[in-house]
Amino acid sequence: MHEYSIAYDIFATAKRTALENSATIVKKVYMDVGEMTMINPEQVVFLFDTMCEEDPLFSGCELEYRSVSVKTKCKCGYEGSERFACPDCGLLPEIIEGREVMVTNIEIEVDD
Q: For 42-60, what is each residue's pLDDT tens digit?
A: 999 999 999 999 999 999 9
* C-alpha to C-alpha distance for 48 and 66, rounded to whole angstroms: 16
Residue 76, marked binder? yes
Q: For 4-43, what is each residue's pLDDT tens digit?
A: 999 999 999 999 999 999 999 999 999 999 999 989 999 9
3-state helix, strand, coil in the chain (%, to 5): 30, 35, 35
pTM reported for the whole predicted model: 0.84
Q: Identify the CATH assignment for 2-69+98-110 out of 1.10.1060.10, 3.40.50.620, 3.30.2320.50, 1.10.3720.10.
A: 3.30.2320.50
* Domain boundaries defined on the chain: 2-69+98-110
Residue 74, marked binder? yes
Residue 61, marked binder? no
